[in-house]
Structure 1
Amino acid sequence: MTALHETAPWTPGEFTERLRAVSAERYHDRHPFNVRMHEGTLTREELRRWIVNRFHYQRHIPVKDALILAKFDDPSLRRGWVRRIQDHDGEKDGDGGIERWLRLGEAAGVERGDLLDASRVLPGVRLAVDGYVNFCRLRPLLDAVAASLTELSAPDLMRTRIDAFERHYPWIDMEGLAYFRTRVEQGGRDGREALGLVLEWARTREEQERAVAALGFKCDVLWTLLDAVDRGPGCG
């Protein structure tokens, strides 16, 4: 009886609580670099370093989503997921999240060419992003979608960040915050969508535990990226 109880799947409510607990305990909003950003104590050099290196992650979001998209057998699911790629790549030139991040860089005094120059990316950031992309390429669909559940925490982080930039970094043109403003709604929508899929697909305890581990891995990716930024050289 004990063994059966230990391996029984969690209820949807229990499973959701465990997923949310991962984000609550390990999401990168707790990282010292993000804490200092939101307290307003980053230097211009540090903030620009983050913008440059985080862009390497941003430009790979549609790449990882394309890898996830290729795993779907259901056309309706592909139609839903492709929206994420369009959100970042845009439906035309001059549109989308990647373009908005480039404008954030320009608002902070970083030349567009410097953001696009991958040679400026810190090695630790490159390894973290490569690890996440390869995770989405090689792991089963459940794991790849579960890893995206950091989106559940993104809207609150974006609201905190907008407030922090407006209060503490007046030297940044506030029009450059469009990326953060857009992601409040998009992140909430994407998180709810992914959570519904994970709850539907993870029926066994083993599948549920894999989903929890995948989300933990994604939190580690984001944390490791900030570790590299926090310790790395300046980007001008």
Structure 2
Amino acid sequence: MSTVAPPATGAGELWSPEEFTARLRAVPAERYHDRHPFNLRMHEGALRPDELRRWILNRFHYQRHIPVKDALILAKFDDSSLRRSWLRRIQDHDGPVEGEGGIERWLRLGEAAGIDRERLRSGAEVLPGVRLAVDGYVNFCRLRSALEAVAASLTELAAPAIMRTRIDAFERHYRWIETDGLVYFQSRIGQGGRDSEEALALVLAWAATRQEQEAAVAALRFKCDVLWALLDAVDGAGERP
């Protein structure tokens, strides 16, 4: 899957809110990484312990950059109430205090899978392709408009479903992972639904031209490609001699 989003044409009349919403929702429905062969094998219970650990290690590089990209998005807002609302996303991952939040929960997932948290934190085993994908997403949020950066976050529209599938798969097929490690997935069901609806409302309100609407759709395609490229790197690493 390409990591380059197609350019917006800017031609044509403004889509209605209903059509715009449908076009946005269609992107993760067609391109979300739940369709990636690696995720399919994960959910079928076909991954070896070393493959699952490799995914946990590399996905952590993405997880730890979520509050970074959200801070870059927050800095684009000129409304204090909107900044307060978006700040919640940073706290969801960094935690309001030490020992809480999504990053801490991912560290506990690693421990439940037999990975020392210092090994996760070191980043020494992060694959080059994963670094490239994550850097691309962070820089997208740094350099693009607030509309595009928020629209890219709409992969969360599909997050609750994949989290439910993942919890079921881990409980069925990977019982060697302690159940306490699944708390991250459980917490993201509610957070992803809430955050995606909030972001969708912003995108619908801000995209005032057809060009802006198309840019929002392209941004969401780009984010899907980032997640796909990350899994390509993880999956491909298993094919090396």
Question: Is the structural similarity TM-score above 0.5?
Answer: yes
SS in 2 for 1:41: coil
Matches within 5 A, 1:1-236: 7-233=12-238
> How far, CA to CA, are the matches of 1:214 and 1:221 in structure 2?
11
Q: Which runs of 5+ in 1 are unaligned?
A: 1-5
Structure 1 outlier segments of 4+, above 2 Å = none
What per-residue deviation string (whole Å, max 9, x for no partner) do you get for residues 80-135 of structure 1? 00000000000111000000000000000011111011221000000000000000
SS in 1 for 2:124: helix
Structure 1 letter corresponding to 2:13: A
SS in 2 for 1:119: coil
Deviation at 1:233, TM superposition (A): 4.9
Structure 1 letter corresponding to 2:215: R
SS in 2 for 1:72: coil
> How far, CA to CA, are the matches of 2:104 and 2:238 in structure 1?
25
> How far, CA to CA, are the matches of 1:186 and 1:180 in structure 2?
10
Structure 1 letter corresponding to 2:18: G
Q: Aligned residues, how many?
A: 229
- Report which of the two has the higher share of helix: 1
Identity rate of aligned residues, in percent? Answer: 75
What per-residue deviation string (whole Å, max 9, x for no partner) do you get for residues 12-33 of structure 1? 0000110111111100000000
> How far, CA to CA, are the matches of 1:122 and 1:148 in structure 2?
23
Deviation at 1:202, TM superposition (A): 0.5
> How far, CA to CA, are the matches of 2:40 and 2:125 in structure 1?
24
Structure 1 letter corresponding to 2:51: E
> How far, CA to CA, are the matches of 2:237 and 2:188 in structure 1?
27
